[in-house]
Structure 1
Amino acid sequence: MTDYGIQLPVQSQSTIYAEPWEAAAGPADLLDIARAADRAGFAYVATCDHVAIPRRLAPAMSTVWYDPVATLAYLAAATERVRLLSHVAVVGLRHPLLTAKQYATLDHLSGGRLILGVGAGHVQEEFEVLGVDFAGRGAVLDESIDALRKALGPEEFPEHHGKLYDFEGLGQRPRPAQAHVPLWVGGSSPAAVRRAALKGDGWLPQGDPRDRLPGQIVRVRRLRAEAGREGPFTIGAIAEPLYVGTPAWDTGRRTLTGPPEQLAESLRAYRAMGVHQIQVRFRSRSRAELTDQIAAFGADIGPHL
């Protein structure tokens, strides 16, 4: 069985993937789409994380980036079973106790539906304005993960002693509803893949094409075996853009289109590689078209995965 999830539209609007209709969309659209994913059996809905976008990047990235904790908490109250993924939280921008307070509360309020996806970040000005070392962000993320493991664990008074962060004797409640909050590491650089294998409960690749994934998965497994890492580990993939059925408009050269059986067969290739969950994205011209696509995928493709 391969799970499937979705990075929500509207909440981040980079020109790489945003559809034109999203520019005028808002909370009601986001809510409707999250509920559609919940009904259609999607494993998770995901949101991104940026604090502030510099002018030099705004034309490509836009400045529309909803806060992940606020957004996921808003959607948690309106959904029943779908999990809530940060894809990805740039946790190095914040002290681990602050991150733990926010995400532990989210997990508590949602009844244990959080998946904490983390990544190193790439916008230098964000780090600089918040007083965090951009050049050393890999090391910052490594220690942040270690500190978050403690701060999101069962202890009311977590303890961590590292080079960057040092805390003990400080209590935080509510605790997460989950005994163990899954922590997935995002990124496809050699350092990110290594970090995922050695420190994560899962790996969220950032745009690896199909032909590159098998080699990356082999490396993840080898690194985990060499380090003696055992237990469940979730390998993810981001599928090509999809359109269920035959579109009456130009959905782009890379978009997978066709009847459900054909799309299911194409997506099953990911499972054969060793992928456990695929993130899907649909081409659409409106909220209604997107929710129709989500429903069709859940009804006609999901059961074949």
Structure 2
Amino acid sequence: MHSSAADTTLTATPQPDPIIHSVFEPQTSTWQYIVADPATSRAVIIDPVLDYDNTTRTVSTSSADALIALARRHNYTISGILETHAHADHLTAAFYLQRRLAAAGTRPLVGIGKRIGQVQSLFGKRYGIPSAEYDGVFDVLFEDDEGFEIGALKGTAIHLPGHTPDHMGYRIGDNVFCGDSLFHPTLGTARCDFPGGSASALYYTGRMLLSLPDNVRIWTGHDYPVEGERAPEPWATVAEHRAQNKHLRDGVTEKEFVEARMDRDRQLAAPRLVHESLQVNVRGGKLPEVDAGGIRSFKLPVKVEGEGW
């Protein structure tokens, strides 16, 4: 993956269609992607998952290892790892993958949007993480509408605020990997109640995405189908979202969207892995350092009823 001069338009230039492998991680309901250039077999991984069992507090790498195995089966060279944002519901495998792939001969660059520093500073202070553990952990900080290359493929990094302030999407040909912006049309959109989130911003992000040509495919970061009704689906077209998206279909006003989104967010519990995820993800996928007692730990907040006893 090579960064290139800024491209201030979302109009795609003619190029070969990318090869897209969508890999669903069921424990966190996350879609991971490998996007490859058919001409050169260079590829990027988008939003990879590091496995974490919060009952046993065990980190493992089965999901990430499966991505490496998939890339090897197709003889891909992974040149980049793209993060859409600092996820609050799963741990990123970016650092693990970078280290494993570098040991095999090619070190991919890890890229994220330029506003990640705001998020790192906020949660660094909240969890007491020294800035030395997160400063400079990402190789590429994308500007808005900055171009990048995957072999002969050209992509564009797009700022998609709303879910989080740092959120980026990646357009590659007639495909947009939108992270946690739009979900399956029957589900609508992602929550906006994280620090820096904004329902109004997400409304305009959604309207921008749905102004793209009808055939453009929007690849989501998660899916939460009701068991027995359908299998997880990684994408829907712009036309499908405009006609069917629960929150953003044509005709929905900003006021209607903001009221519905905020009402829904008030009903949502915090993500199950929110504290562990943020402490790893602001570090670019690195785990907390081992302390003087030889223990690697996460900091978890505790609520005490009747403080003062």
Q: TM-score range by the shorter chain?
A: 0.3 to 0.5
TM-score in terms of structure 1 length: 0.32
Structure with more of its chain in helix, by fraction: 1
